[in-house]
Structure 1
Amino acid sequence: MSQPEQPGWRWGPFTFRLPFYHSKLCWPELVQGLLIAAATGLSLVPLMTSFFGLSFEEAVAVSMIHSALIASAIIVFGEPYAPGWITPALPLVLAFVLGGYETPDERFQAMAAISLDFALLLFLLGITGLGKRFILWLPDTLKAGIILGAAIAALKRVFVDDAERFLLQQPISTTIACAVCLIFAFSIPMAKLKEKYRFFALLGALGLLPGFVLAGIIGPMVGEVSYDIQWGILIPPLDDAWAKVSPFAIGWPSMEMFIQGMPLALITYVILFGDLVTGNEVIREGLETRQDEHIDINPTRSHISLAIRNALMGISAPFFPTQGALWTGVHVIIMQRWKQGKQAMDSIHSGLASYYLMGLPILFFLLPLLTGLKPLLGIALSLTLVLTGFACAYIAMAIPKNNTSRGAVVLIGASLAFFEPWVGLLIGILATVVLVGWDRNVDPIPHED
């Protein structure tokens, strides 16, 4: 018989767990979280400084708000997943915002519009229970086309749209980082080595870190990276950032922005639902091994907490889609150690809170770490997008069951990557109906044979 859930303070459908009181500190997760969050959590900074008119310090302040909201999923709302971005939607959002708006104010207003659209959609689908029905109603070909569209848009952003600004500035370092991470994440020969040798398994468990560290070492040798590490404490200028990004300061989005952003909110929801199903399956698999802790899976709570986080992000530091449900790699890593027993990790909530630094934004105050990472953030951004593109491509192409559907998926993906979201979605619906038919599947997530 399973034991009660880890204690906390209940408020509505949520559970607040005070760090160090309800959740214990797990050092392995804390160290990994500090290092890997440093490598990935700040990778939007180059975009914010290049296209959204922020200084480095202001971009760090915005990232700190994003990080605090992400950590709130575990601490304030009691979610049992390792939260992260809805990364596959990022390239589609960037194509829409950067391609459709010229000034930083307009771009942040567009980000706010999509964030608030998404928050409203999540809230409505959550309280009505219509979320799962919506996903079941969508045809497989259209789902696969949406995911492939994210893959094409991600690779286009790296190799075409922003190539001169990021990739071509640091070609050797970026190539090394991407190659190492792709090999450890997806290579079939490497998977066999991981099974055979513990060394490779440990390296693989570090996610993006090995490739990122290698790029940081080789970069200075080939003249692509120059460090200017400064000592001291940085106080992120939250007031200056607020004045440049919040709709309370720069003005609210127009109704046209809200209408144009809704197709992207719908597309992102399709991706998010897949994340929720994945997270639940990982938890259920873990519960087969360890039965001394009850983990509460509650889709309504997840929808509403995501709605609140996205709404708060939309009015304070709009940059969509940084408030998602799952960072899959981290979720799996934490669950793997939780499965080792109570002596390894007393509760899944302790492991999650420790990985997210107990909600304390230590990273954003450490000036040596921030300035040391600054010349590597373009590499981190390219790495994130390339891995997203590869992962989305192989997931998308595994869904269609016949050649006509595969061809339609490529057509839909290209339409979403190259046209405005509503145009791409309209082409996707028409292509699905005319070429394949409404091929719905009662199982919303494909499974490998």
Structure 2
Amino acid sequence: MRPTRTPGQVQPGINWGPFTLRIPFYHTRPEWPEFLQGIFVAGATGLAVIHILVADFGLTFEEAVACAFIQSVLIGSATIVFGEPFAPGWITPALPLVLNLIATTGDGESELYSSSEKFQLMTAVSLNFAILLFLLGVTGLGKRFILWLPDALKGGIILGAAIAALKRILVDDADRFLDPHPVSTIVAVSCCLILSFSIPFQRWKRRYKPLALIASLGLLPGFVAAAIVGSMVPSGNIDPETGKAIPELVFNFQWGFQIPPFADMLAKASPFSIGWPTMEMYLTTFPLALIGYVIVFGDLITGHEILKDAIPDRPDDKIEVDFNRSHYSLAIRNVLMGLFAPLFPTQGALWTGVHVIIVQRWREGAQSMESLYSGIASYYVFGIPMLYLVTPVIMLLSPLLGIALALTLILTGFACAYVAMGIPKTQIERGVAILTAVCLAFFSSPWIGMAVGVLATIFLVGFPTKKIVEEADDTPSNLSSDQTA
């Protein structure tokens, strides 16, 4: 029998340390709209890393599925195991900077990193990031650090991610992402840009409920449109047997279930098998960890603001936001990811689009969603990405994985660009931001971009005063619906 929640109290669970475990079907109930969306939207988006793991890290397709499975389980654990009230996601703006690092040469000129060295770099940055999270969380210095960081440098970091993402898709790897299926990619990107950012479309969806429903499905409409168009548009290649043009996307169906080859994947990726990162790798990747923290802290603030706006509508479901707990849970998830499925930055705090969708239905009342934790757990398919075990679905999605990654990076570039442009307040700050961004995007070592940004900020803008930093004390670390309503 399920435990009942007293109205106005937190959803029951099993407390362990600062965390709360909520077992699906026992502490939380299935929310079917979120469940059905999550199977395809969360599953297909998570599978986008497969393209990176195969093309850049040398895993087989099946091994890449195993790695993505572990990463998805860790993402789902944020709410189910640790009790976080946010819909978790990647630290997406850091992804293009990571791709810059592993795509460049090991010595800056001649040799590429080997597959093992790339995984060691991912372990190094994940452990760096986890240590940073833990130290800034336990000391409470995270708020001070973010307020101390000048706007020019913040804007430069986020704009650098935007330039790196667009450069990767449109210039560096255009032959990999655009050439095989240009029409399908353009259709998917156009569809998702319109659904997510178009000002006229935002007006239309307020007037027409079917458009609002389509927009609520996130990236899924773009995938569907790309699949339909790609299966009809010829690629320019001819099938030698039939003499007919081969379409951009060819779908092969295989029936059955599969167990991903976890042992083979761990043998190629885990530091327990391939060896631990060198000290040089930890030093090389530290700027990426710092950049990741800046992005994650902004996500935590964003997630809390979205909740704070909705909490007055649900006094029956008390929500506790604890930024220190968030730091600790993120640290644990990134350590586990770095040890068993290394690919920074797949363990972040917030998937903003999904968080907005779930919170919007949650605020409609208990008749729509019993608790926020039920909705998030359902969206992440109760912590187990069952999609990855169903062979027909994997085969159906596999031709779309390159498009999924291109779509993720282009949307990241677009969103990061407009966010970054709003951060600097003066002409000089904007100039410093652009200089920092270009150096982050074009130089192989993240240290160069960070060094240029810091020096330009010191000499052209200056750092915040002590008075500004002290404003961090006004931001509480532990927040609940009682405090924020």
TM range (shorter): over 0.9
Deviations 1:328-357 (A, max 9, x none): 000000000000100111100000100011
The 5 Å alignment of 1:427-442 reads 427-438=452-463
Question: In 1, distance between residues paired with 2:315 and 2:287?
Answer: 42
Task: Choose which of 99, 116, 120 in structure 2 pairs with 1:109.
Answer: 120
The 5 Å alignment of 1:258-269 reads 258-269=282-293
SS of equivalent residue, structure 1 residue 343: coil
Where does residue 75 of structure 1 map in the other structure?
80
Deviation for aligned residue 1:435: 2.1
- Report the AA paired with residue 300 of structure 1: N
**In the alignment, is the contact (CA less than 8 A) between 1:98 and 1:107 conserved in 2?**
no
Q: Does 1:151 align with 2:157?
A: no
Q: CA RMSD in A?
A: 1.3
Q: Does 1:360 align with 2:384?
A: yes
**In the alignment, is the contact (CA less than 8 A) between 1:97 and 1:111 conserved in 2?**
no
Deviations 1:38-79 (A, max 9, x none): 321100111111111100000000000000101111111011
Where does residue 240 of structure 1 map in the other structure?
264
Deviation for aligned residue 1:437: 2.3
**In the alignment, is the contact (CA less than 8 A) between 2:35 and 2:381 conserved in 1?**
yes
Deviation for aligned residue 1:226: 0.5
Question: In 2, distance between residues paired with 1:228 and 1:399?
Answer: 46
SS of equivalent residue, structure 2 residue 403: helix
- Report the AA paired with residue 364 of structure 1: Y
- Report the AA paired with residue 428 of structure 1: G
SS of equivalent residue, structure 1 residue 349: helix
Q: 1:439 to 1:145 in 2, by over 3 A?
A: farther
Question: In 2, distance between residues paired with 1:152 and 1:60?
Answer: 29
* Fraction of identical pairs, as percent: 59
Task: Choose which of 13, 25, 30 in structure 1 pairs with 2:18.
Answer: 13
The 5 Å alignment of 1:37-436 reads 37-101=42-106, 102-222=113-233, 223-419=247-443, 420-436=445-461
Larger radius of gyration: 2
SS of equivalent residue, structure 1 residue 10: strand
Deviation for aligned residue 1:439: 5.1
Where does residue 447 of structure 1 map in the other structure?
none
Question: In 2, distance between residues paired with 1:399 and 1:9?
Answer: 41
SS of equivalent residue, structure 1 residue 164: helix
Where does residue 481 of structure 2 map in the other structure?
none
- Report the AA paired with residue 239 of structure 1: A
Question: In 2, distance between residues paired with 1:209 and 1:38?
Answer: 10
Question: In 1, distance between residues paired with 2:169 and 2:378?
Answer: 33
Report the TM-score when normalising by structure 2: 0.90
Question: In 2, distance between residues paired with 1:308 and 1:402?
Answer: 39
**In the alignment, is the contact (CA less than 8 A) between 1:48 and 1:54 conserved in 2?**
yes
Question: In 2, distance between residues paired with 1:289 and 1:261?
Answer: 43
Question: In 1, distance between residues paired with 2:190 and 2:340?
Answer: 36
Where does residue 29 of structure 1 map in the other structure?
34
Question: In 2, distance between residues paired with 1:110 and 1:360?
Answer: 27
**In the alignment, is the contact (CA less than 8 A) between 1:140 and 1:439 conserved in 2?**
no
SS of equivalent residue, structure 2 residue 174: coil
Deviation for aligned residue 1:438: 2.2
- Report the AA paired with residue 353 of structure 1: A
Where does residue 4 of structure 1 map in the other structure?
9
Q: What are the ranges of 5 or more consecutive residues in structure 2 without an aligned counterpart?
A: 1-5, 107-112, 234-246, 473-485
Return 345-354 or 186-195, whichever deviates more: 186-195
- Report the AA paired with residue 177 of structure 1: A
Return 143-152 or 353-362, whichever deviates more: 353-362
**In the alignment, is the contact (CA less than 8 A) between 2:72 and 2:384 conserved in 1?**
no
Q: 1:2 to 1:399 in 2, by over 3 A?
A: farther
Question: In 2, distance between residues paired with 1:14 and 1:193?
Answer: 42
Q: 1:393 to 1:439 in 2, by over 3 A?
A: farther
- Report the AA paired with residue 250 of structure 2: S
Deviations 1:122-152 (A, max 9, x none): 0111111111111011001100000000000
Deviation for aligned residue 1:289: 1.6
**In the alignment, is the contact (CA less than 8 A) between 2:93 and 2:162 conserved in 1?**
yes
Question: In 1, distance between residues paired with 2:411 and 2:162?
Answer: 9
Report the TM-score when normalising by structure 1: 0.97
Q: Give the number of equivalent residue pairs.
A: 444
Question: In 1, distance between residues paired with 2:105 and 2:123?
Answer: 14
Question: In 2, distance between residues paired with 1:427 and 1:337?
Answer: 45
Deviation for aligned residue 1:100: 3.7
Deviation for aligned residue 1:189: 1.1
**In the alignment, is the contact (CA less than 8 A) between 2:160 and 2:438 conserved in 1?**
yes
